[in-house]
Chain A
Amino acid sequence: MRYAMAIDTKKCVGCSDCVVACQTENNVPIGYARDWVAEMVAGTYPNVELEIRSERCNHCDNAPCVRCCPTGASHIIDGGIVKVTPEECIGCGACIQSCPYDARYSHPEGYVDKCTFCDHRVEDGLDPACVAVCPTKCMYFGDLDDPSSDVSEAMKNRNYKALAPEAGTDPQIFYLL
């Protein structure tokens, strides 16, 4: 079982609902963000292209943050979701240094925090909060090993890319182009 996310850049309008929904679902403190929206513009007026992406921790298959954690607080659970156990985290910041996506941050209570694919919702068979709230339904979540899951279906017959593949982390969030 390998959880992954596919995000359709053709439908995303950059409304950032995913950011607010994550904040209210996971009690993310004001001033912090587990996910964010990036925009890329290329060209010269009026020949312009636009790509909008909702980004978060990529729950990489080859996660450097898990490798470099000295206490094992950063660990991988069923399905490949990368999580942090607050009581085992010493706040050394090594994982933050090791993430090429800058997906982690230091929670005001001292431990390191980040997107958890809302594993508490996934356990109950629900989608992560960001996927569930997206008004354009451009986000798909599910088991990549299951060809009939939402995410596998979404990726069929579509070109897609992952972010910073040259960092070698094997990220599991795919942007449909």
Chain B
Amino acid sequence: MNMTVAAIFKKDWLGLLIVVLVSGLVIAAVKPAFLSPFNLYVLMVSTSYMLIIALAQMIIIAIGQMNLSVGAIGGLVAISFSGLMEVHQISVPVAVLSGLVIGIACGFLNGYITVKSGISAFIITLATLYIFKGINLGITEAEPFYNIPENVKNFGNAKIGNTPIPFLLIIPIIITILMWVFINRTETGRHMLAYGNSVQSAELMGISSSKVVITAHIISGFLAAIAGMLVVCRLQLGTPNIGDSWLLPSFAAPVIGGAILAGGKVDVIATALGVLIVAIISQALVIFKIDPFFVQIFLGVMILLAVFVNRYREYKQEVRRKIFSSE
């Protein structure tokens, strides 16, 4: 484990951390209210569920695929979670469990069909996006569930003691740490990265494609489910639109965090910082009263920039490799 200074500097996330700190300071200089406890609280709240959504997409990017149904799974779980509690008076823990089961089932469906049919995950998850969203709309008929138990609502709003840190942030932080351990320290995690790097090499090494793909999709569904339920706590109702706006940010954060779409290279910490950057920018746009339409353009430009930077780095690496291997 090289923890020399040089090694730290090579890490993707250092650059991002600098961006976060600098942009935070710049905004705070212009608008001191940015650093106020309430504003930090709001920032942390929106980061909390976006973090899980980004990780849900990141794990699929790791294996070189895409999951378009992340938002649809989140929405389906969100309404199931709130619906079970409101209509069937199910207790909170059982409802949470049910939500997780639904998320796992959806993820399993995605992974299983992708592996068994050999069809690209893009198309499979495009279809399941409509299927899950369709079930969502069919059940709710586009009407939200309003009657969420009080303790759930409070969870969505509570802060830790006197700090501005929301309760909502605890779970995402735990998950981020677990994901880091999973990707970097467990065998399955490393298998996933290997698979993302090169399917043939992975299979030659004896890695089971089915296991890798299905596990990744199950994790993705599981995380999407958690995000959906957190959003319900936050909004204090279960509306079928939850998840509709997740697609772009779910890609933006990992890509900004250095992920390569072809697979095999993702960084949990960098992704987390990517989420933070997107959240800061979104907030800044409101603070500076910039045209809300500009957010769209901004996110798009950010993604392109991030991708160019990643590509450039890849290119430089390849050049370096070619130079060294020709010696």
Q: Do A and B come from one complex?
A: no
B→A interface (CB under 8 Å):
none
A→B interface (CB under 8 Å):
none
